[in-house]
Structure 1
């Protein structure tokens, strides 16, 4: 499209703004703010900045509910990533972001650029990226397309993370038909920074210079933000909206920016993420109360004859925007040159609070800065309780019929959501930087803070089935389970980042799911002392008219004051006592057992008492701190039976002999909350039992490589560890082979 030949009145007359994702009301509002008809470039700039992806126009009223302050929080939401103090003048910087729509179209590039984008968010804060995580959702692995999406997304994550030298230390993958056409690819990165080096994305100081650094600008990713704010239909070609990453440039950019942050010449720095040059420049100016003027003739371009519209909306990767003190530009440019990264001055900070874009001697956009950011429309969308909710709440908790518990345990261990994810994580470089203490497969990944005895624990988690059944309760569980992963490793939970993935928010029932799950997340964060410091919202995740299950991913970071507290999630030696902490009830709504038996989810989500949850986590952490716990593992999908099996999958030649009471199906496969299994040396049992309430010894670790479970003196499981471990490890590779 030749925008030079589209006059502003034509945009309104032919309603071209609708093709850009703007409504009639929004276009009218733009005209009021501009006091004239906007041209095509200006209309396009508004369309990306007012997209759901950039403005959070539908989610802002709900996001304000999150608790965002705490004793450790140095920077909450509003910058590239959140910052949390870990003592000794050090802080961790972290955030999670989705790259769902691009990954549904081009899973390799979509997932790779997802990693690249979140890495830039972290180092733009002045932090060295030290660990990456992911949280992924795909359809059932019985379809050829799902197998391709999964394999390509994993390949994309590995290709980017491995090249830039940031270890991918863990994550989680779940599979459900809900995600068949719309996979979720959420990437999380954690960085380390000294308090004095924390940066912000501001364009302060009239007359200061705007510098562009990194890869050149092409026509890839144009309107990516708008594309990610709409439903992705399978019959549309959206490949042009998917940006292409280059991790080799990305690595150089990390090194250059981490050197630049030590220069007194630097005023502000921000990643060119969604909406590219448009969002970074306008947001930096708005935060500083200034304006920016840019000459696009100076922007490095890798394609010929790019116009202002294309340059401003491109989401080409590996690009940063910096504001530098006037007269000190060369110092910054020299750093980038040293690292073989292109960097050029493209504009300046101006006093007028305007976003002014020039090209070929002509002004192509002149927009009040706050009109793009602070004054973007905010919608309080209608909400309606989901039709199924009352029906599910009225259902009685019943115990499913399981005739052969040993066979059912085997089936559960082979469910892709539960099965080993080694096929995926063996493609990742988990040991880069040489500080990974516990990597993929642990309840939480553990990364040493170099030069200290401290370490951080990192996890991502969310059971979307519970949130579908009861969004508020499910939201609480998502935070509590993430915290249990952190506590099981011996670390104290500090804060969370959230990746909020939902369907179309204009559907009142979807908006209700979001509202209620945010209520639950907020309540759990307050109860567990884990404020929300950053996050991302991804809506319109659906296809063929059906929304995905609501999936607010919780990324959590915790602190180990000393690595002596590091606690493995596998049994460690024979003769240790096995304890179950917590109570078990008949709770199968949203469970993996229900999935196997019925292929759908109904009933009540498991009950959670946040006061009890907080108390148990505190007591277990205290017991770990006193050296009383040999191993700890939280109970989640598949219940106690799966947790016991996972606890002996560690090549130590161990097994377990367990004695349970009550109904065998409930005892083994219920997914009741706030539960752990831990092992304790015999000489520490008395002290442990004094310290931890509701801890019941259920068995002993053996050295015979057998898992045996008796319920009411009747043996219902008698398995060789090697055999069930083989089933668990080979389940996903076998499914992928069958689709090859």
Structure 2
């Protein structure tokens, strides 16, 4: 994707000459939408990014948030959408590798992953091919490096057929005194490249991610997809820990989009310094690489470190210990010049900040999406129930998460398949993990760390602004159902071609909706990622605001999302009958206005967390995709069941957020807790029968646990 004429003129004016071939390629990638956020940056100021516990906010490789004075967590999210269409296995695998290295570059040890995946119609053969490859890539990479995948989401919508989304979040744990940032600190320090050798894979990946996919993308764009090596990444994780233990790192940046050129120029620009780099010093795995290839290759498992000169030999020793390549490629200088040489010739000489941050922003027209019409289908209750409960969108995702190791690290108290994951962050161990690693993996504080992540394309396709607000409330409710309250969030904002006014209008809607809801919930959005040009010959994707939210709670115990067979079932938040954005309407081609988000959502979340932690609470499960129909079906186990009454079909399938089913031994206490917050209605009783008995407006449905499981296991049934 060559430089636009206007960009080239701006560069020539700044440099006072025509750019070299290497400079042109570097500007093309660093000024791409993927790196420079040219169309989205004007909108992102809507997010509130500061909060009491925020240590490092947006702009670094990952955010840093304090759990207490001594223990911090890092939090980040990335997309690997285009690569996962072209090569689903390597595209998804390297997405995991990239977000893990973002965690390493902040000085943290990765402790959890969440993967949010979006595909076209499940019935389409190509969608299943992509799903199978993406899940295998995530599992092979994450399992091999020993980082548990504890949560996420999987959704299907016809508008992802030509462009799936793969969004990956990572949480890391770090001691307060071990945090590293990406800004270069001191002239005279060395720039050291550690990790895999550089090859030609991933060339032009940043610019590739900044244009629509065409019908030949799977063949023509394959060279732009990186190839991962999880075993080298695991060695890099351990080497990074030892470098931190020895206090050898001044600054760090992982090599992702735009490769070495991107990482090194961004480090220098952030520190308002300069550098001189000799590209032939970079350790390479292929002969005959030219300057542009060395600068822009996105070969994986590489880190760029700023190191004091007297520590370089020790860094080399650590790299050798872990069988990693190590190159001293240049040094930090005074001034503001980014200079790269190759075989004695200067191939790049540009102001560092202009190179990294000088891309002009786009001023694009937008159109507000139309209001949905009201067109409600007339469907028999049993037909509607079986279609919704058996839909791939609401069905069990066990086929996906059973391929992930979610217990490695021995922190997972509540794993995939529940409303949110809960990780145990315990007291510090007396003995370090090994003789030379007294690291963040062992610092434990005695509290639970909860993680929820996802989005609903049906919601935001129907109403971008209100749908995005609902996504935020839904994720916060997921945390509250486990007894946790939100701490911080990161987002991955996915949209189509922003040059189309209707597409950009929908993207504006999800940004503003997510920002407003997070502000209402008092949840700082501490980082994120933007992925635009998710457009293909099949059309644009739905505007998709993936949100990952971290929460905290005292202890690690959480009420399950399944019936315990002993208590009264209450619906906190009350019945709602609006059907807009619901799976019910998606199944039967209907439409309706989108349900309003409750005005008292913050109080609801706080109160639900308190109720979930009460001794009398036996189970809590939020109401979201598929409405009460799916929530009640998911409460049923082989040993326990549900006997419930719902007033209408609309109430059964409404996906209005800010609601949850609570099984309790003390209904009065729950009603009292929510007295001034939200309505509470009694649904019925939990039973010891292993079945769902449901009455809806005088009609009855009855399914045993085996029948429900058979309907909900559609992914496993079709893919195994």
TM-score under structure 2 length normalisation: 0.95
Gaps of 5+ in 2: 428-444
- Contact kept, 8 Å, 1:275 with 1:314, in 2: the verdict is yes
Which segment drifts farther, 614-623 or 234-243? 614-623
Separation in structure 1 between the aligned mates of residue 569 and residue 229 of structure 2, nearest angstrom? 49
Which segment drifts farther, 703-712 or 420-429? 703-712
Separation in structure 1 between the aligned mates of residue 501 and residue 320 of structure 2, nearest angstrom? 52
Q: 2:671 aligns with which of 689, 694, 697?
A: 689
- Report the alpha carbon displacement of residue 660 of structure 1 after superposing the two structures with TM: 2.7
Separation in structure 1 between the aligned mates of residue 247 and residue 100 of structure 2, nearest angstrom? 23
The residue that corresponds to 2:90 in the other structure is 109
The residue that corresponds to 1:543 in the other structure is 536
Within 5 Å, which residues of 2 pair with 1:86-165? 86-165=67-146
Separation in structure 1 between the aligned mates of residue 198 and residue 696 of structure 2, nearest angstrom? 65
Secondary structure in 1 aligned to 2:364? Answer: coil
Separation in structure 2 between the aligned mates of residue 623 and residue 235 of structure 1, nearest angstrom? 54
* Alignment partner of 1:430 is 2:406: yes
- Report the alpha carbon displacement of residue 623 of structure 1 after superposing the two structures with TM: 2.0
Separation in structure 2 between the aligned mates of residue 673 and residue 80 of structure 1, nearest angstrom? 32
Q: 1:364 aligns with which of 334, 344, 347?
A: 347
Number of aligned residue pairs: 698
- Contact kept, 8 Å, 1:582 with 1:695, in 2: the verdict is yes
The residue that corresponds to 1:178 in the other structure is 159
The residue that corresponds to 1:30 in the other structure is 11
- Post-superposition CA distance 1:393-414 (Å, at most 9, x none): xx34x653222x2332222122
The residue that corresponds to 2:438 in the other structure is none
Q: 2:424 aligns with which of 448, 461, 468?
A: 448
The residue that corresponds to 1:327 in the other structure is 310
- Report the alpha carbon displacement of residue 418 of structure 1 after superposing the two structures with TM: 0.8
The residue that corresponds to 1:402 in the other structure is 379
- Report the alpha carbon displacement of residue 454 of structure 1 after superposing the two structures with TM: 1.1
Q: 2:324 aligns with which of 341, 345, 352?
A: 341
Task: Provide closer, same or farther for how the CA distance between residues 733 and 480 of structure 1 changes in structure 2, counting only shifts above 3 A.
Answer: same
Separation in structure 2 between the aligned mates of residue 586 and residue 171 of structure 1, nearest angstrom? 28
Within 5 Å, which residues of 2 pair with 1:172-211? 172-211=153-192
- Contact kept, 8 Å, 1:578 with 1:701, in 2: the verdict is yes
- Cα RMSD of the aligned pairs, angstroms, is 1.4
Secondary structure in 2 aligned to 1:373? Answer: helix
Within 5 Å, which residues of 2 pair with 1:255-404? 255-386=238-369, 389-390=370-371, 392=372, 395-396=373-374, 399-403=376-380
Separation in structure 2 between the aligned mates of residue 590 and residue 474 of structure 1, nearest angstrom? 8
The residue that corresponds to 2:392 in the other structure is 416
The residue that corresponds to 1:495 in the other structure is 488
Task: Provide closer, same or farther for how the CA distance between residues 579 and 399 of structure 1 changes in structure 2, counting only shifts above 3 A.
Answer: farther
* Alignment partner of 1:577 is 2:580: no
TM-score under structure 1 length normalisation: 0.92
Which segment drifts farther, 260-269 or 122-131? 260-269
- Post-superposition CA distance 1:192-217 (Å, at most 9, x none): 11111111012221111110000000
- Report the alpha carbon displacement of residue 673 of structure 1 after superposing the two structures with TM: 2.2
- Post-superposition CA distance 1:100-143 (Å, at most 9, x none): 00000000000000000000001110111001110000011212
* Alignment partner of 1:46 is 2:46: no
- Report the alpha carbon displacement of residue 545 of structure 1 after superposing the two structures with TM: 5.8
Separation in structure 1 between the aligned mates of residue 73 and residue 249 of structure 2, nearest angstrom? 21
- Post-superposition CA distance 1:406-453 (Å, at most 9, x none): 332222122111111111111111111111111110100111113343
Separation in structure 1 between the aligned mates of residue 535 and residue 358 of structure 2, nearest angstrom? 29
- Report the alpha carbon displacement of residue 352 of structure 1 after superposing the two structures with TM: 2.9
The residue that corresponds to 1:654 in the other structure is 640
Gaps of 5+ in 1: 1-18
- Contact kept, 8 Å, 1:613 with 1:674, in 2: the verdict is yes
Q: 2:596 aligns with which of 592, 607, 615?
A: 607
- Contact kept, 8 Å, 2:193 with 2:327, in 1: the verdict is yes
- Report the alpha carbon displacement of residue 368 of structure 1 after superposing the two structures with TM: 0.9
- Report the alpha carbon displacement of residue 515 of structure 1 after superposing the two structures with TM: 1.3
The residue that corresponds to 2:48 in the other structure is 67
Separation in structure 2 between the aligned mates of residue 711 and residue 282 of structure 1, nearest angstrom? 62
Which segment drifts farther, 611-620 or 34-43? 611-620
Secondary structure in 1 aligned to 2:106? Answer: coil
Separation in structure 1 between the aligned mates of residue 684 and residue 595 of structure 2, nearest angstrom? 25
Separation in structure 2 between the aligned mates of residue 657 and residue 128 of structure 1, nearest angstrom? 46
The residue that corresponds to 1:699 in the other structure is 684
- Report the alpha carbon displacement of residue 583 of structure 1 after superposing the two structures with TM: 2.8
- Contact kept, 8 Å, 1:406 with 1:718, in 2: the verdict is no
Separation in structure 1 between the aligned mates of residue 201 and residue 245 of structure 2, nearest angstrom? 32
- Report the alpha carbon displacement of residue 235 of structure 1 after superposing the two structures with TM: 1.5
The residue that corresponds to 1:568 in the other structure is 560
- Post-superposition CA distance 1:610-643 (Å, at most 9, x none): x321121121122233323211111111110110
Secondary structure in 2 aligned to 1:636? Answer: coil
Q: 1:215 aligns with which of 179, 182, 196?
A: 196
- Post-superposition CA distance 1:266-293 (Å, at most 9, x none): 2101100100101110010011111111
The residue that corresponds to 1:4 in the other structure is none
The residue that corresponds to 1:734 in the other structure is 717
Q: 1:587 aligns with which of 578, 589, 609?
A: 578
Separation in structure 1 between the aligned mates of residue 364 and residue 691 of structure 2, nearest angstrom? 55
Q: 1:473 aligns with which of 443, 466, 484?
A: 466
- Contact kept, 8 Å, 1:295 with 1:359, in 2: the verdict is yes
Secondary structure in 2 aligned to 1:261? Answer: helix
Task: Provide closer, same or farther for how the CA distance between residues 88 and 448 of structure 1 changes in structure 2, counting only shifts above 3 A.
Answer: farther
Separation in structure 2 between the aligned mates of residue 119 and residue 575 of structure 1, nearest angstrom? 43
* Alignment partner of 1:617 is 2:605: yes
Q: 1:668 aligns with which of 652, 656, 662?
A: 652
The residue that corresponds to 1:16 in the other structure is none
* Alignment partner of 1:634 is 2:625: no
- Contact kept, 8 Å, 1:607 with 1:672, in 2: the verdict is yes
- Contact kept, 8 Å, 1:583 with 1:672, in 2: the verdict is no
- Contact kept, 8 Å, 1:628 with 1:688, in 2: the verdict is no
